[in-house]
Structure 1
Amino acid sequence: MAALSGGEQCIKYMLFAFNFVFWLAGTGVLAVGIWLRFDERTKGLFTGEGSPSVFYTGVYILIVAGAVMMVVGFLGCCGAIRESSCMLGLFFIFLLIIFAAEVAAGIWGLSNQDKIVSDVQQFYTETFNNYKATKQDALKETLVLIQFGLQCCGPTGTVIDGAPETCPKKEGLEILVTTSCPAVIKEVFTSRLHIIGGVGIGIGVIMIFGMIFSMLLCCAIRRTRDIV
């Protein structure tokens, strides 16, 4: 059996490094999803009456996505370092499926942009109303994360009408009037769409290179094993 050439060895270790980073990223995504699911401050969102479906659906998507990324990264790492054409073939298939899902999600997201914005705004409004009615700590933590992250306060932008304890601290006249969260949510989605699209395209390009490298290495491994 002949050995891999210098260029093929380079592809092998590049593919291993790529998949190791991919595996670490999957571990991080899975850890965040599990933390959000079982943390004392947020697990009440999964069991309370009128729990926001958008939130826990997103958390379960994070958990599944992290697990899939870990499996794909593991297959890529082991396939590259062990020079296993079977593992590399499985890695290619998984990556192709993820790439197709990303393209489909991107097309769906662009065609349903207004509905996505509306759903996120509705999630925020329901969370806000549920917190005012129940004063649950989990709902408070969610509102604090959203409102401090977006620098907004309440559905109307008025602290008096909102929940002041969950709003960012303001000074002067800003104490009475600030930006409403539904308006900020819409502005963020519309103004950041090109950034989200750019990130998606970048991830897609990386996946394409990953598929190309895996096939090149797989073919090289099979070729060397055919040589006596």
Structure 2
Amino acid sequence: MREISPFCFQLHILAVYILIGAGGVMMLVGFFGCCGAVKESQCLLASFFACLLVIFGAEVAAGVFGFMSKDKIIEDIQQFYSESISENSENSNRTAVAEMYHDVLNCCGVYMPSPLCPDADEDTKDCLNAIMGFFNEKLYIIGYVGIGVAGVMVIGMIFSMVLCCAIRNNREVI
């Protein structure tokens, strides 16, 4: 079995942490954006715009990284499955992990049916191909959701700048 390099594992975890951190910061920034709109503060609205722009850049970078390393992620998950069904696995709950793969993906074994799923029929696929097919199917859904979130963020940036300019113009008239 090929070992997962610590560097690649850390990169995958880093992408997840970027997305989680961006979501948490986004919630905080949204609160300040609401406060800026209620108080009609140009400073808070401009800060809201700048923070949205930085978060947007971080999410785009994480998304591009995820799509570029898609094959590596699939390979790592396939390796994890192969290790979970191997006899010399150190994982104590390896059968539970393998059964989850089998139930979710309707697959069994690597290239032939495994003793872990004796009731497999002829429609059952091998799990390595099922994992690859699952990710290739669901990756487009993830991409569409990411594009939707990016669109909402762009609309938020546009509205914050429009409101900021309206406040400035309103104060110049008075």
TM-score by length of 1: 0.56
Which one of the candidate residues 95, 107, 113 is aligned to 1:152?
Answer: 107
Between the two proteins, the alignment pairs up a number of residues equal to 165
1:217 Cα deviation from its structure 2 partner: 0.7
Structure 1 residues 74 and 125: CA distance shift in structure 2, 3 A: farther
1:111 matched to which residue of 2? 68
Same amino acid, percent of matched pairs:
45
1:128 Cα deviation from its structure 2 partner: 5.0
Determine whether 1:90 maps to 2:47.
yes
Contact 2:108–2:114 (8 Å) recurs in 1 = yes
Deviations 1:196-224 (A, max 9, x none): 32222222211111110010011112222
Amino acid at match of 2:55: I
2:172 matched to which residue of 1? 226
Which one of the candidate residues 127, 130, 136 is aligned to 1:190?
Answer: 136
Contact 1:131–1:140 (8 Å) recurs in 2 = no
Within a 5 Å distance, the mapping from 1:1-228 to structure 2 comes to 53=9, 57=13, 60-61=17-18, 63-127=20-84, 129=86, 132-136=89-93, 146-156=101-111, 158-160=113-115, 163=116, 173-174=120-121, 178-228=124-174
Deviations 1:100-136 (A, max 9, x none): 2233333333433322322332344345559953424
Tell me, which stretches of 5 or more residues in structure 1 are unaligned? 1-52, 165-169
Amino acid at match of 1:83: E
- Separation in 2, partners of 1:65, 1:145: 30
TM-score by length of 2: 0.70
Amino acid at match of 1:225: R
Aligned-residue CA RMSD in angstroms?
A: 3.5
Deviations 1:19-44 (A, max 9, x none): xxxxxxxxxxxxxxxxxxxxxxxxxx
Structure 1 residues 124 and 96: CA distance shift in structure 2, 3 A: farther
Contact 2:26–2:55 (8 Å) recurs in 1 = no
